[in-house]
Chains A and B, each alone.
Chain A
Amino acid sequence: MTLGLLSQYVFNGLMLGMIYAMVAVGFTLFFGVLDVIKFSHGDVLMVGAFTGLATYLGLQALGVDSPLVQLLVMTVVAALAMGLLGALIAKYLVLPLRLAPPLNTLLITLMLGSVLREAVRLFYPQGSNPKPFPRLLPADFVSFGAFTLRADSMILLLAGLAAIVAVHLLITRTKLGLAIRAVAQDAETARIMGINFEFIVLLTFAIGSGMAALGGLMNGLYYNEINFGMGLLLGVIGFSAAVIGGLGNIYGAILGGFLFSALQSIGAVALPALFPGTSTAYKDVFAFAVVIIFMAWRPTGLIAEKKSERV
């Protein structure tokens, strides 16, 4: 394997890992603050991508054709809309079930995911077909032998990193973050200390869902194609990534995201090389099998949640 080829694999893996990490961070935030698993997260990501696309089409119709302006407006609209959606989900579906068994939350959000998915399929015009996502980033590229480095992929990678760092800073360095951490640690005490519990929960769900919207846009800009089913597998993978990393820990989620994409790449490259005749379709089998082994080895994840430092 040449160096160029290897770099290409690594870069593909990084890009994929970044998208997974963004989904995983959402799962980890929700779990951290409320100990719930919100399974509609992947579908929120998909709705975010479609919101971005609809905004783009709207801007086109209004005659705005600067890619930069389009991109900024799309990002803002999608992130705000999904933030709002996330907060609504928290207020009307998750919080009322706070005292019910966790299984109920899991089920209700799983069903909500199906509702979102089918709603986009039915109500977005021709929603059952794959949709082209606009190319708004510069498509310049440099080739080093077998390695093609594209400007747009590079920008997306940096943007994803920036988003994750921003969330991290928000949680560790601001007063708001302190409140989120306080709620995560002990909701009752936080309430006694004068923190508006419901507001903080809604805000956390908004932040996580806004991240999902960014992930959806990244996905669209990277693959230039979105479809109503894209959130399903991304949700499962993002969740697995958050679990391997250690649910409730942001670093763990990031680590888990990159680890999962690395496992998939290794599965796709190494399996057929080791066992000739195996198809690359087994890469997911391989990756998920390793996740199972990880879970047996470290049930609390790679970076185990410390009770005092949740979120």
Chain B
Amino acid sequence: MNLKRSAIVSILGLTLAAAAGMASAKQTVKLVFIGPLTGGVSANGIGGRNSADLAVRLRNQDPKAKYSYELVSYDDECKPNIAVQVATKAAADNSIIAGVTHYCSVTAVATVDTYHKFGLPVVVWGAVLPSITYANKFPEIHRVNGTMINQNDVAAKFMTGLKFKRWVVIHDTTDYGKGHNQYFSEYLKKYGGNIVGTFGVTADQQDFTTELTKAKELKPDVIYFGGLTPLGVRIRSQMEKLGINAVFEGTSGIKSDAFIEGLGNKLAEGSLSFIEGAPWEKLPGGLYFTGKYAQQKYNEAPEAYGPFAFAAANLIMDAIEKVGPNRKKVTAELGNVKDRDSIIGKVTFDDHGQNIVPLITKYVVQDGKWVVWEDSEYGSGKRKLKGQ
């Protein structure tokens, strides 16, 4: 009896093993995802990781795919020193062919040399500092999202167009915040806006009452904030405490559900942000993405840059499908990407590997959601921003 049962079990086991063997007949290719998976901006990092993971899962379900893919993910904690460690770990691992890397500008810019040295092709999925692609001409480095230059150009032009006159700029003192401050200030001057005060704050500061008290005295129409969601939530919330009646204008750094969740619908209302790429909610590919994302039942939202991570992973896998799992060939193939359709619109890499995205989308918070400006009641004139 026992013998019989164990025989059945072994036969079953053998069948299963055979089935598994057949399923994994394809060669497995490893990709790496790097982003902030812990710490203050981890909501964005995890959203990006899930989105890249989704791209891999969908590809593995595709019977036409030549390879089977495996995503390894590392946490850069949004800290340059940690980022260099994990980048080296990934780049030194020969089984990893390419990477979807970095949300934080400070980490992305710190690791470009590492990727170049080891010849690991990467596609940056969220960091917006221009020098990541433009400081060098490394063939390995690509970026699907735009830079903060385009973003701030559009932001400054748009806001001066709304007849606002006086700005106070608050930015964090990392390269990211300083970059936003620099480009926004430049463009605002060009379009005739007036900056009456600039405050640099540390990236983990909790209390902004001193800066904001000073800002209040300067009577700004708009408070421009160059930094990421956690700080954005605190500053907006403390503006209210001090009775500052100004528009809160952020950057792509605050375009996340976490921003609205952290403030509550009432306080978040009327906050602005600007982000590169087409409004993906409206593209057919975008709906496909959100639908598939929902199916996988991830615990966290994809957040603003999830679609970029998804697109980056797909570009890499397309290249591998075409030229095979070889770092050099994948690097060369990624360099040829031109007018490629993706869920974030057309992607074309210039000779620095930068996606030339002409489009910046403007968002405003309306009733607890980020709404594309043109579709919002603010855009139609039904609601007014403060001081308008």
Known: A128-B40, A279-B199. A5 touches B204 (CB 8 A): no
B75 CB to nearest A CB, Å:
12
**Contact: B46 with A128, CB < 8 Å?**
yes
Complex Cα distance A153/B238, Å? 12
Name the contact of B242 in the complex, choosing from A8, A131, A234, A279 (C-beta under 8 A): A8
**Binary contact readout B251-279 vs A (1 if CB under 8 angstroms, 0 otherwise):** 00000001001111000000000000000
- Tell me whether A234 and B173 are in contact (CB under 8 A): no
- Contact partner of A227 (CB less than 8 A), chosen from B46, B211, B230, B264, is B230
Interface size bracket, B side: 35 or more
A163 close to chain B: CB less than 8 A: no
CA of A124 to CA of B33, assembled, Å: 25
Contacts A118-B38, A121-B38; is A284 near B264 (CB within 8 Å)? no
B40 A280 Cβ-Cβ under 8 A: no
Smallest CB separation, A6 vs chain B (Å): 10
A143 at the interface (CB under 8 A from B): yes
Contact of A281 among B43, B201, B207, B264 (CB under 8 A): B201
Partner of A284, one of B202, B233, B238, B241: B202
Say whether A177 faces chain B, with CB atoms less than 8 Å apart.
no
The answer on a CB contact under 8 Å between B38 and A128 is yes
* Segment with Cβ contacts to B, from A23-31, A92-100, A101-109, A261-269: A261-269
Q: For A224, list chain B residues within 8 Å (CB).
A: 237, 240-241
Q: Is B209 interfacial (CB 8 A cutoff)?
A: yes
The complex places the Cα of A227 from the Cα of B217 at a distance, in Å, of 29
**A side interface size, CB within 8 A:** 39
Q: Report the minimum CB–CB distance from B202 to chain A (whole Å).
A: 5
Contacts of B199 in A (CB 8 A): 279-280
Please, which residues of chain A bring their CB within 8 A of the CB of B24?
A: none
Contacting pair A5 B217 (CB below 8 A): yes
Q: Is the CB of B42 within 8 A of A280?
A: no
Q: Are B213 and A131 in contact (CB under 8 A)?
A: no
**B206 sits at the interface (CB 8 A):** yes
A148/B242 in contact, CB under 8 A? yes
CB of A260 to closest CB in B, whole Å: 12
Q: For residue A282, which residue of chain B has the nearest CB?
A: B200
Q: Are B206 and A132 in contact (CB under 8 A)?
A: no
CA distance A153 to B213 in the complex (A): 15
Known contacts A148-B242, A224-B237, A280 near B211 by CB under 8 Å: yes
Q: Is A150 an interface position by the 8 A CB rule?
A: yes
Q: Give the top 9 A-B pairs by smallest Cβ distance, nearest first.
A: A279-B200, A130-B262, A129-B258, A12-B209, A268-B210, A128-B42, A148-B243, A130-B233, A281-B200
The 19 sampled A-B contact pairs (Cβ below 8 Å) are A8-B242, A16-B209, A126-B43, A128-B40, A128-B43, A131-B262, A146-B216, A148-B242, A222-B241, A223-B241, A265-B210, A268-B210, A279-B200, A280-B214, A281-B173, A281-B200, A281-B201, A281-B202, A284-B205
